[in-house]
Structure 1
Amino acid sequence: MKAAHHKAAVNATGKNAPAASAELSELRPGQSVELLKELHILTREGRLNQDSRRKLKQVYHLFNFIEPLLQELSEGGRSPTLADHGAGKSYLGFILYDLYFKALGRGHIYGIEWRAELVEKSRALAERLGFGRMSFLNLSVAASTGAAELPERIDVVTALHACDTATDDAIAFGLQKQARAMVIVPCCQAEMAACLRQGKALQLARTPLAELWRHPLHTRELGSQVTNVLRCLHLEACGYQVTVTELVGWEHSMKNELIIARYTGQKKRSAQERLRAILREFGLEQAMGARFGLPADGIAVPQG
């Protein structure tokens, strides 16, 4: 494999082949150099600079979280399916296909993105690379649940930096599709902050805890934190085992919380009760209960 990398480096860089070959040896066996150039992880000359080397490390870091899920779902000759919400340029989908699905020889990745121009570019790149088991849908996350182009069940749902309620739509999609696993990186949780601001005066009179969101900056920060806590409780109440960690270095952003949920079928009543109690404590049971599986009357919405 190193010999093949060396040959590719000679063809691409000529007199700089030895240096380029050493850099290409950092790639995983069989990894597409052309794809990494398209994703700007490798330069057009096939080289790694300091920034692209950091990007490559980040890609591998994320892949290490998802690969074990795919391996488990591929056992016994099964063909795993994965839906990537808010796919953008389908960065994640292409990497997963290149590093896992390509060698597996089965399974399918669906990239879901509302910007038509990005969907067309992804389709063209997949065709050029021969990534035949990738489909790209020009849909919002919310509209994708009932899309005829998607199968009734999806094994893995991913959503990286899906803004605000799009993350909740991705979770709802995963529940509807009976996903075996979800990998979520939330972003821009504005809805909770808006709800907290609306009842701020009343809450300040009711409880000293309202000081936690009296200042606008704290409102945004607390809203983000509470939203993610509620998402985790919602997933646990629906039968998922949840792990929360950092998506180290995926981008220079505070929005690097990674939520990994694996379906076990053990629905935690205590998680549902705590979810309801937190919403009630913040005065949000009526405004946001339905989003997390609780209707206005407080009776749990059954999940599939």
Structure 2
Amino acid sequence: MSKLDKAAKAEADVLQELRPGQSIELLKELHILTREGRLNQDSRRKLKQVYHLFQFIEKLLRELPGEGAGATLADHGAGKSYLGFIIYDLFFKALGGGHVYGIETRGELIEKSRSLAARLGFDRMAFLNLTVAESTHASELPAQIDVVTALHACDTATDDAIAFGLAKQAKFMVLVPCCQAEVAACLRQTKALALSRTPLAELWRHPLHTREIGSQLTNVLRCLYLEAQGYQVTVTELVGWEHSMKNELIIARRTGHAKASAAERLRSLLAEFGLASLLETRFRLP
């Protein structure tokens, strides 16, 4: 096979994997395609991961009025805005409406994202150099946001994203928590006195287990809190997203029907584990 034929075959392989109209330049910038615009084994894996993640969010967007044509989406802890760019390219670009906001504290990443969006003509993307907490009251954001995402937002940044979603009356939240250290630190300090004389104390006797049980407990508390605030919650695995054990995907759908039973269980769990102080910070209930 000649070099020309090989090149044509490589291009055909790429086009077969991509969705119609998908930006080749963007995929190169995100290192999903090689500099030559080709797919190798690693880039095929990355592309599969991207599509797997996107399918969760696309389904939610299409449930919005006009199948999401005018939807607003805020991506917290955006980093290089990998997720925001992919969603815009695959969903918003062809619709002529809707807006994606990337929220990130590192100014250099914000500038790079703004430059890339301008180069690609993604004019309904905005990048804000703010913390999650600051963004809740920022004038650059609308009063209501349809979809809130926070993927691998570290420790309490996920809780800040939930607070943002509640304040903005988000219809959907898509969360992949990471580095849940706060509850583990509280467990080490209080030793969950109510349970310290029972075999359950073995769950956090060793530091590694303290971290793991703290992570698990944090996400359980978050799910109960969302249910208590009027959301239906689904917990699943985000299979294939990066090489990380932080693979738990929480999808919250706003119903407006707050569950009193979830609020009661939340209070009980916090009391059992000596974490009642979090009712005044992370898990404020009516």
Normalised by the length of structure 2, the TM-score is 0.95
Q: Which runs of 5+ in 1 are unaligned?
A: 1-9, 295-299
Of the three residues 3, 22, 25, the one matched with 1:31 is 22
Instruction: Report the 3-state secondary structure (helix = DSSP H, G, I; strand = E; otherwise coil) of the residue aligned with 1:245.
Output: strand
Structure 1 123/269 Cα, relative in aligned 2: closer, same or farther at 3 Å?
same
Instruction: Report the 3-state secondary structure (helix = DSSP H, G, I; strand = E; otherwise coil) of the residue aligned with 1:254.
Output: coil
Separation in 2, partners of 1:270, 1:131: 44
Structure 1 25/209 Cα, relative in aligned 2: closer, same or farther at 3 Å?
same
Instruction: Report the 3-state secondary structure (helix = DSSP H, G, I; strand = E; otherwise coil) of the residue aligned with 1:72.
Output: coil
Query: Which residue of the partner structure matches residue 99 of structure 1?
Result: 90
Q: CA RMSD in A?
A: 1.7
1:256-271 equivalent positions in 2, closer than 5 A: 256-271=247-262
Structure 1 15/253 Cα, relative in aligned 2: closer, same or farther at 3 Å?
closer
- Whether 2:123 is the aligned partner of 1:132: answer yes
8 Å CA contact 2:195–2:272 kept in 1: the answer is no
Separation in 1, partners of 2:48, 2:232: 27
Structure 1 151/213 Cα, relative in aligned 2: closer, same or farther at 3 Å?
same
8 Å CA contact 2:152–2:177 kept in 1: the answer is yes
Instruction: Report the 3-state secondary structure (helix = DSSP H, G, I; strand = E; otherwise coil) of the residue aligned with 1:121.
Output: helix
Separation in 2, partners of 1:271, 1:250: 30
Of the three residues 110, 125, 131, the one matched with 1:119 is 110
- Whether 2:50 is the aligned partner of 1:59: answer yes
Query: What is the letter of the counterpart of residue 141 of structure 2?
Result: L
1:16 Cα offset (Å) = 1.0
Greater relative contact order structure (CA < 8 Å, 6+ sep): 2
Separation in 2, partners of 1:59, 1:26: 12
Query: Which residue of the partner structure matches residue 6 of structure 1?
Result: none
1:74 Cα offset (Å) = 4.0
1:60-75 equivalent positions in 2, closer than 5 A: 60-75=51-66
Query: Which residue of the partner structure matches residue 279 of structure 2?
Result: 289
Q: Which runs of 5+ in 2 are unaligned?
A: none
Query: Which residue of the partner structure matches residue 236 of structure 1?
Result: 227
1:9-28 equivalent positions in 2, closer than 5 A: 16-28=7-19
Separation in 1, partners of 2:139, 2:192: 46
Structure 1 199/182 Cα, relative in aligned 2: closer, same or farther at 3 Å?
same
Structure 1 22/289 Cα, relative in aligned 2: closer, same or farther at 3 Å?
same
Q: Which moved more, 1:185-194 or 1:76-85?
A: 76-85
1:133 Cα offset (Å) = 0.1
8 Å CA contact 2:146–2:171 kept in 1: the answer is yes
Query: Which residue of the partner structure matches residue 161 of structure 1?
Result: 152
1:210 Cα offset (Å) = 1.6
Separation in 1, partners of 2:77, 2:67: 31
Deviations 1:130-180 (Å, cap 9, x if unpaired)?
A: 000000000111111111111101000000000000000000000000000
Structure 1 147/183 Cα, relative in aligned 2: closer, same or farther at 3 Å?
same
Deviations 1:212-263 (Å, cap 9, x if unpaired)?
A: 1111000000000000000000000111110000111111111010000010
Equivalenced residue count is 284
Instruction: Report the 3-state secondary structure (helix = DSSP H, G, I; strand = E; otherwise coil) of the residue aligned with 1:25.
Output: helix
1:179-218 equivalent positions in 2, closer than 5 A: 179-200=170-191, 202=193, 205-218=196-209
Deviations 1:62-104 (Å, cap 9, x if unpaired)?
A: 1110001111114278510000000000000000000000011
Normalised by the length of structure 1, the TM-score is 0.90
Separation in 2, partners of 1:84, 1:48: 27
Separation in 1, partners of 2:117, 2:12: 26
Percent identity reads 76
8 Å CA contact 1:23–1:47 kept in 2: the answer is yes
